[in-house]
Structure 1
Amino acid sequence: MAALAAAMSDPSRMKILCALMDGKAWTATELSAVADIAASTTSSHLSRLLKSNLVICLSQGRHRYFRLYNSSVAELLEKMMGMTFPVSRASRAKVPKELRKARTCYDHLAGEIAVKLYDSLVKNHWIESDGKKLTIQGQEKLLQLGVHLNAKTRRKACCPCLDWSERKFHVGGYLGASLLSFFENNHWIERVSGYREVMITSKGKKELDKHFFSHQ
């Protein structure tokens, strides 16, 4: 644990890890820009993060891309963000409104919309009250909607993930990832390139209200 904490203790490395929380793969050049450090320094930081199994490197031709090692690393980072985000109106006001509204938490949705979605799934009995299991009714409803779930996945089918800005749960696990993919593929949301911010489209607002929020 001490070795892991040491690998994460540098501010520039934390900037890199937080940038990778959008769930996508970044080049070293892109990470250098977001961390506001020299390319040579970025290389050194990435080497440290690779050695600590916090990120992985993907090679495609002559290009190398970096992303978080797995969802467990993302969950750890999200919890750390929650611990370092004081519960006060002043600190909340410092977070951009768009980021509080909707953002990615690695491979699932976070923010006000995601918390509202979690509450809806619990209230409508699509997931169990503790957020750790999808109900039979939920499976049927999601299948009707077009959200296909792999019963053989090794990941947790679904789990509550504490949202650092809302201090309430949003949906994580395989269900959270499947919903994010479904929303994006059906143009309910649009990602803001290079950022965790997510925009809810006009179609998305209508569909979310129709299928999830109208019964609350």
Structure 2
Amino acid sequence: MREGPDIARIASLIGDPARANMLTALMSGKALTASELAQEAGVTLQTASSHLAKLTDGGLLRLRKQGRHRYFALAHDDVAHVLENLMGLAVSAGHLRMRTGPKDGALRKARICYNHLAGDMGTRMFDSLMTQRHLELNEKGIDLSESGVALMQHLGIDLAALRAKRSALCRECLDWSERRTHLAGSLGRALLERFEQAGWASRDANSRAVHFTRRGEKAFREAFSIAEP
């Protein structure tokens, strides 16, 4: 047996259709029960429990207990990042179970990708940050430039607290519906939280959609110098 990372095991965990449906459901960022995930996967609760045990043992899920209830969530950001990239790869390779992009127009416009903003508004924000050179490329990937730091401070983002975290500040994430990049990492998470705190947007309780108010969308475009579509 060759030495090195066992990608075959990870691929086999993700590759089962029922487990893939469970993992995709958890891309909303919410923790779900075994019953809820069984419904998402279209399997019995007993079968779902077996799948969830494998995903947890494989390091892709983490179990959270609250009282008598047991909830499952993606283990960490890297799992979400891999899943979104696999969705993009499936789209580009023509492996579709539906038409390109989310069926729901609201999901196309803005949605949650685990903990950050995706969809048309997410990719527009990333494109604007790159065009205005608020984000810059370096040997490690992308990071904020001096002007980017100033913009984030203006928006009320605590960069010192974010940089103290173990996760990367900025990460590129391939948007599978737009086939373009949106912003992930701790900064992507903080920006989505800021949009919600400011009353610009709210998460749909029953889907991954993010709904911007009219005032919030206007403020969003002004903050990132985005022209109206």
**TM-score (normalizing by structure 2):** 0.87
Letter in 2 for 1:213: S
Q: Check the 8 A contact 1:158/1:175 in 2, yes or no.
A: yes
2:147 corresponds to which residue?
137
Deviation at 1:95, TM superposition (A): 2.9
Letter in 2 for 1:116: R
Deviation at 1:69, TM superposition (A): 0.6
Deviation at 1:92, TM superposition (A): 2.3
In structure 2, distance between residues paired with 1:94 and 1:22: 14
Size of the aligned set, in residue pairs, is 215
1:74 corresponds to which residue?
80
Q: Check the 8 A contact 1:85/1:91 in 2, yes or no.
A: no
Q: Structure 2: which 5+ runs fail to align?
A: 1-6
Letter in 2 for 1:127: L
What are the superposed Cα offsets for residues 81-108 of structure 1, whole Å, 9 maximum, x if unpaired?
00111488x9326732221111111111
In structure 2, distance between residues paired with 1:120 and 1:94: 23
One of 128, 131, 134 as aligned partner of 1:123: 131
What are the superposed Cα offsets for residues 173-195 of structure 1, whole Å, 9 maximum, x if unpaired?
11111111111222211111132
What are the superposed Cα offsets for residues 30-61 of structure 1, whole Å, 9 maximum, x if unpaired?
11222222111111111111111110001111
One of 43, 46, 51 as aligned partner of 2:52: 46
In structure 2, distance between residues paired with 1:87 and 1:205: 33
1:23 corresponds to which residue?
29
In structure 2, distance between residues paired with 1:129 and 1:55: 31
2:185 corresponds to which residue?
173
What are the superposed Cα offsets for residues 134-182 of structure 1, whole Å, 9 maximum, x if unpaired?
1122112211221222221221110221111111111111111111111
What pairs with 1:176-195 in structure 2 (closer than 5 Å)? 176-195=188-207
**TM-score (normalizing by structure 1):** 0.92
2:91 corresponds to which residue?
85
Matched, 1:65 2:71: yes
Q: Check the 8 A contact 2:63/2:70 in 1, yes or no.
A: yes
Matched, 1:96 2:108: no
Structure 2 vs 1, CA of residues 214 and 99 (structure 1 numbering), >3 Å: closer, same or farther? closer
